[in-house]
C-alpha cells in the first residue's frame, strides 16, 4: 500500500530489535553453529568462551554476514567473573532474553578409577557448575522481568550412560535433572527451561572423539572408533536440524515442554500432545515423555 | 523364590562414609552385628566416638577416621591406612551426604549449593576412585551409593540435593559397567524415607523463617506420617540383601527399600536391553 507523501524509510530504519541471546562456549562447535543461526534469524548474539581468538573468529564471520554479535572472554567456572559479565551485558547490550548453556568439555576417557581425579572433577565443574553459575547470574534478572528462556545443552550420554566417559555422562545426567527442578522453580516467574540434546553432530566433541586414533590405550581407541562409526552412520544429526530445533524451542510455541529433555529427533508437536494427555503417574520417566524411554 | 543369602559379611571389612549419625549409624550397627569389621568415616570426631563406643559395647568390631570426604588427598590417606592396618576393603558404602540449601536455585547461596554437589557426588566418586583399584585387583568388592527418590524424580527448592543424587545414580550405572569385568558390583540404593538423619533434620525446620523451608519441613513430616515411610529395620535388611552376593545381577541399578529384589532380578533377565536407565520400572 502506497500513500502519497509517506516514506517507507522510517519503517526500514527501525527494524524489530530481535532478542538478546547469551551463548556460552560460543567460540566453536555447537555453540558456533547456534550463534550463526540465531544471528541470521535476527537475534543479537552475545558469545562467551575462554578463547578470545575463537570468539573473534566467530564474531567476524557473523558480522560479515550482517549479524549482530558481542563477545566476552570468561571462564564459566569463575562464578564471580560470570556475575560480572552478566552485569556488563545487561548494562551495555540489554536484557538477556535467552541463555544457551552450551559450554562443556568431554572429560577424561577411561575407567573412572583410572582417570586423573582432577580431570574427572573438572568436567563436573565445567559442565554442571558452569551452567548453574550462569543460571544463578541470569535468572534473577529474567525473573524480575517475568520473561526468559534457558536451554541447557545435554546429551543422550546423560539420559542413558557412557561407560569410560563417566564424568561427561554424569555431568549431563545432573544437568537434565537440574533443568527439571529449575523449570518448576521458575514457572511462577513465567520462565522456561529446556534440556536439549542436539544429536551427534559432525562438530565439536564428536570430531574431537573421532580424532582419537593412534593410541596404545584400548579404552581411548574404543571411544575414538565409536565416534568415527557414529559420524558415518545415519544416526548423525544435521547441523541444520539441530539449529532448527533450537529455534523452535526458543519460539515460545513449545513452552509447555518446559523442564523436559528434548532431542533433535523429537517431533515437538507430538511431545506437546503427550504433555497434555499425561498425568504425573503415567510418566514418571524423568519428564522425558517416553514411556519405554 | 527367596534367594539364599549366605553371610558374606562375617569378617568382611566395610567402610561407611558419614558413619557418625543417621542412616550411616544405623547401617554401622547392623553390619557390625552381622560380623563385619566396620570402618566409619565422618567429619565429627565426637559422633564417631559415640557410635564406636556403642558398637563395641555390643561386641562389634569398629574403627573410625575423621575425614572430610571432599578432600581427595585425605580420602586416599584413609583408604591406604585402612588397607594397611586392617586389610583389603570388601565393601564401600558411600553414605555421606548433606541436604543442601532450600530455596529457588538462583536464590540459594552459591557456595552452599555447590558444596552439596562436592559432598554428595564428589565425596562418593573420590572414595570410589580410591577404593576400587584394589577391589579390581582382587576381583572382589561391592559398592553401595546411597541415593534418593529426589534424584530419580525431582525436588524443586531442594535442587542441589536432587541434582547430586541424580548424578550419583548415573555414576553408579556407568561405574557398574566399567567394573563388571573385574567382578565388582555397584548399587544405587534408596534407603527410603526414614525418621533419621536428613529427614529428621528437615522436620526440625518447622520454626524456620522462609516459606520454602516451611514447605519442605511440612512435606517431610507428612511423609514420615504416611505409609510411604520406611522402617529402619527394613532399610538395613535390604542393604544386607544387596551385600549378600545373591543380587549382584542387579549391579548398576537403582534399588529402593520398597523393591522386591527377586522381582527385579526377573525383570533383568526379561528386559535385557531396556533403555529405562537401568531402573527396571517400565513406567517409572
Provide the angle, in degrees to the nearest 10, between the axes of the packed helices B22-33 and B45-57. 30
Q: Out of A112, A117, A124, whose CB is closest to B121?
A: A124
DSSP state of A21: E
**Nearest-Cα residue of chain A relative to residue B104:** A185
Provide the angle, in degrees to the nearest 10, between the axes of the packed helices A29-40 and A52-64. 30
Residue B149 touches chain A, beta carbons under 8 Å:
no
pLDDT at A154 over 70: yes
Provide the angle, in degrees to the nearest 10, between the axes of the packed helices B159-178 and B123-138. 10
How many Å apart are CA A264 and CA A249, to the nearest integer? 11
- HSE-up (13 A, CA, CB side) for residue B14: 35
pLDDT at A13 over 50: no
pLDDT at B279 over 80: no
Q: What is the DSSP string of B4-43?
A: P-----TT-EEEEETTTSHHHHHHHHHHHHTT-EEEEEES
- B104 vs A contacts (CB less than 8 Å): 185-186
How many Å apart are CA A47 and CA A115, to the nearest integer? 31
Q: Out of A112, A120, A178, whose CB is closest to B163?
A: A178
How many Å apart are CA A290 and CA B54, to the nearest integer? 49
- A116 vs B contacts (CB less than 8 Å): none
pLDDT value at position A282? 45
pLDDT value at position B201? 77
Cα B97 versus chain centre, distance = 8
The three-class DSSP label of residue B271 is: coil
For residue range A187-232, list pLDDT tens digits in order: 999 999 999 999 988 777 788 888 887 777 888 888 888 888 888 8
How many Å apart are CA B83 and CA B102, to the nearest integer? 38
Of residues B212 and B251, which shows the higher confidence score?
B251
pLDDT at A292 over 80: no
How many Å apart are CA A292 and CA A223, to the nearest integer? 27
pLDDT at B244 over 80: yes
Per-residue pLDDT band at B282 (split at 50, 70, 90) = very low
pLDDT value at position B3? 53
Closest CA to A131 of A190, A84, A79, A170: A79
pLDDT at A40 over 80: yes
pLDDT at B4 over 80: no
Q: What percent of chain A has pLDDT over 70?
A: 89
- B157 vs A contacts (CB less than 8 Å): 185
Secondary-structure percent of chain A, ordered helix, strand, coil, rounded to 5: 50, 10, 35
Q: What is the DSSP string of B88-116?
A: --SEEEE--------S-GGGS-HHHHHHH
pLDDT value at position A129? 98
Interface test with A, best of B73, B110, B127, B150 (most A CBs within 10 A): B110
| CATH for A17-199+239-277, options being 3.40.50.300, 3.40.50.720, 3.30.470.10, 3.10.310.10 | 3.40.50.720
pLDDT value at position B281? 35
Average pLDDT over residues A232-248: 92
What pTM was computed for the model?
Answer: 0.91
- A176 vs B contacts (CB less than 8 Å): 166
Average pLDDT over residues A158-186: 95
Q: Is the dihedral of CA B103, B144, B252, A110 positive or negative?
A: positive
CB contact under 8 A, B162 and A161: no
pLDDT value at position A284? 46
B252: cell is 548398576
C-alpha torsion angle, residues A166, A168, A174, A176 (rounded to 10):
-120
pLDDT at B2 over 80: no
pLDDT at A2 over 60: no
Chain B: nearest CA to A77, how far in angstroms? 11
Q: What percent of chain A has pLDDT over 90?
A: 71
| CA geometry: angle A117, A118, A124, nearest 5 deg | 95
Q: Is the dihedral of CA A34, A40, A45, A51 positive or negative?
A: positive
Per-residue pLDDT band at A267 (split at 50, 70, 90) = very high
pLDDT at A287 over 60: no
Q: Out of B167, B178, B275, whose CB is closest to A170?
A: B167
For residue range B199-216, list pLDDT tens digits in order: 777 777 766 678 888 888
pLDDT value at position A165? 95
CB contact under 8 A, B151 and A159: no
pLDDT value at position A1? 41
Residue B137 touches chain A, beta carbons under 8 Å:
no
pLDDT value at position A232? 85
CB contact under 8 A, A112 and B175: yes
- HSE-up (13 A, CA, CB side) for residue B128: 35
pLDDT value at position A173? 96
Do residues A283 and A289 make contact, with C-beta atoms less than 8 angstroms apart? yes
Domain B13-193+231-270 belongs to what topology?
Rossmann fold (3.40.50)
Interface test with A, best of B132, B163, B273 (most A CBs within 10 A): B163
Closest CA to B159 of B118, B119, B105: B105
Per-residue pLDDT band at B271 (split at 50, 70, 90) = low
The three-class DSSP label of residue B187 is: strand
How many Å apart are CA A184 and CA A191, to the nearest integer? 9
- A169 vs B contacts (CB less than 8 Å): 170, 174
Residue B213 touches chain A, beta carbons under 8 Å:
no
CB contact under 8 A, A174 and B170: yes
pLDDT value at position B82? 97
pLDDT value at position A39? 98
- A258 vs B contacts (CB less than 8 Å): none
Residues contacting A68, CB < 8 A, separation 6+: A18, A39, A43, A44, A45, A62
Residue B107 touches chain A, beta carbons under 8 Å:
yes
Do residues A171 and B179 make contact, with C-beta atoms less than 8 angstroms apart? no
For residue range B104-129, list pLDDT tens digits in order: 999 999 999 999 999 999 999 999 99
Do residues B231 and B176 make contact, with C-beta atoms less than 8 angstroms apart? no
Is-catalytic flag, A283?
Answer: no
pLDDT value at position B207? 62
CB contact under 8 A, A114 and B133: yes
pLDDT at A145 over 90: yes
Do residues A149 and A135 make contact, with C-beta atoms less than 8 angstroms apart? no
pLDDT value at position A228? 86
Of residues B136 and A16, which shows the higher confidence score?
B136
- Distances A200 to A29, A156, A176, B124 between C-alpha atoms, Å: 11, 9, 17, 30
Q: Which residues pair with B186 in a beta bridge?
A: B143
Per-residue pLDDT band at A108 (split at 50, 70, 90) = very high
How many Å apart are CA A56 and CA A47, to the nearest integer? 10
pLDDT at B249 over 90: yes
Average pLDDT over residues B243-270: 90
Residue B162 touches chain A, beta carbons under 8 Å:
yes
Amino acid at each position: 500500500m502506497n500513500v502519497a507523501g509517506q516514506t517507507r524509510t522510517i519503517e526500514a530504519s527501525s527494524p524489530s530489535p530481535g532478542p538478546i541471546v547469551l551463548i556460552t562456549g560460543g567460540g566453536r562447535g555447537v555453540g558456533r553453529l547456534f550463534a550463526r543461526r540465531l544471528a541470521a534469524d535476527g537475534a543479537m548474539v552475545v558469545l562467551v568462551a575462554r578463547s578470545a581468538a575463537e570468539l573473534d573468529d566467530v564474531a567476524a564471520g557473523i558480522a560479515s554476514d550482517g549479524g549482530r554479535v558481542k563477545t566476552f572472554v570468561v571462564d564459566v567456572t569463575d562464578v564471580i567473573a560470570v556475575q560480572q559479565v552478566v552485569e556488563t551485558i545487561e548494562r551495555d547490550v540489554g536484557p538477556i532474553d535467552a541463555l544457551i548453556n552450551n559450554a562443556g568439555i568431554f572429560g577424561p576417557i577411561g575407567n573412572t578409577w583410572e582417570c586423573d581425579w582432577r580431570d574427572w572433577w573438572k568436567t563436573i565443574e565445567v559442565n554442571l557448575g558452569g551452567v548453574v553459575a550462569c543460571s544463578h547470574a541470569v535468572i534473577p534478572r529474567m525473573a524480575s522481568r517475568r520473561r526468559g528462556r534457558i536451554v541447557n545443552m545435554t546429551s543422550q550420554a546423560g539420559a542413558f550412560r557412557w561407560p569410560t566417559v563417566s564424568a561427561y555422562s554424569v555431568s549431563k545426567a545432573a544437568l537434565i535433572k537440574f533443568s527439571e527442578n529449575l523449570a518448576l522453580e521458575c514457572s511462577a516467574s513465567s520462565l522456561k527451561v529446556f534440556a536439549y540434546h542436539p544429536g551427534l553432530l559432525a562438530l565439536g566433541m564428536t570430531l574431537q572423539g573421532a580424532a582419537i586414533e593412534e593410541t596404545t590405550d584400548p579404552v581411548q581407541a574404543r571411544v575414538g572408533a565409536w565416534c568415527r562409526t557414529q559420524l558415518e552412520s545415519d544416526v548423525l544429526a544435521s547441523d541444520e536440524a539441530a539449529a532448527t530445533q533450537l529455534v523452535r524451542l526458543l519460539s515460545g510455541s513449545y513452552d509447555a515442554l518446559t523442564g523436559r529433555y528434548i532431542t533433535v529427533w523429537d517431533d515437538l508437536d507430538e511431545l506437546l500432545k503427550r504433555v497434555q494427555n499425561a498425568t504425573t503417574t503415567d510418566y514418571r520417566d524423568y519428564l522425558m515423555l517416553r514411556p519405554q524411554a | 523364590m527367596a534367594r539364599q543369602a549366605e553371610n558374606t559379611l562375617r569378617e568382611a571389612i566395610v567402610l561407611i562414609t558419614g558413619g557418625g549419625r543417621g542412616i550411616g549409624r544405623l547401617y554401622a550397627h547392623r553390619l557390625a552385628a552381622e560380623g563385619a569389621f566396620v570402618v566409619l568415616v565422618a567429619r565429627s570426631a565426637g559422633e564417631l566416638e559415640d557410635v564406636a563406643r556403642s558398637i563395641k559395647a555390643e561386641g562389634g568390631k569398629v574403627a573410625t577416621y575423621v575425614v572430610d570426604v571432599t578432600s581427595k588427598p585425605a580420602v586416599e590417606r584413609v583408604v591406604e591406612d585402612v588397607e594397611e592396618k586392617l586389610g583389603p576393603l570388601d565393601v564401600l558404602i558411600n553414605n555421606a551426604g548433606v541436604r543442601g540449601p532450600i530455596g529457588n536455585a538462583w536464590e540459594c547461596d552459591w557456595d552452599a549449593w555447590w558444596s552439596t554437589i562436592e559432598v554428595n557426588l564428589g565425596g562418593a566418586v573420590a572414595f570410589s576412585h580410591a577404593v576400587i583399584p584394589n577391589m579390581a585387583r582382587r576381583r572382589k568388592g561391592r559398592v553401595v551409593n546411597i541415593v534418593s527418590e529426589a534424584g530419580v524424580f525431582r525436588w524443586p527448592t531442594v535442587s542441589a540435593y536432587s541434582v547430586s543424587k541424580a548424578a550419583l545414580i548415573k555414576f553408579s550405572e556407568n561405574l557398574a559397567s566399567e567394573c563388571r569385568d573385574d567382578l565388582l558390583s555397584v548399587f544405587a540404593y534408596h534407603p527410603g524415607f526414614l525418621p533419621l538423619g536428613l529427614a529428621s533434620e528437615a522436620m526440625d525446620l518447622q520454626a524456620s523463617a522462609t516459606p520454602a523451608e516451611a514447605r519442605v519441613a511440612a512435606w517431610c513430616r507428612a511423609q514420615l506420617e504416611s505409609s510411604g515411610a520406611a522402617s529402619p529395620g527394613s532399610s538395613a535388611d535390604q542393604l544386607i540383601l544387596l551385600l549378600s552376593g545373591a543380587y549382584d545381577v542387579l549391579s548398576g541399578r537403582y534399588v529402593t527399600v520398597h523393591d522386591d529384589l527377586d522381582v527385579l532380578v526377573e525383570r533383568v533377565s526379561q528386559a535385557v536391553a531396556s533403555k529405562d536407565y537401568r531402573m527396571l520400572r517400565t513406567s517409572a
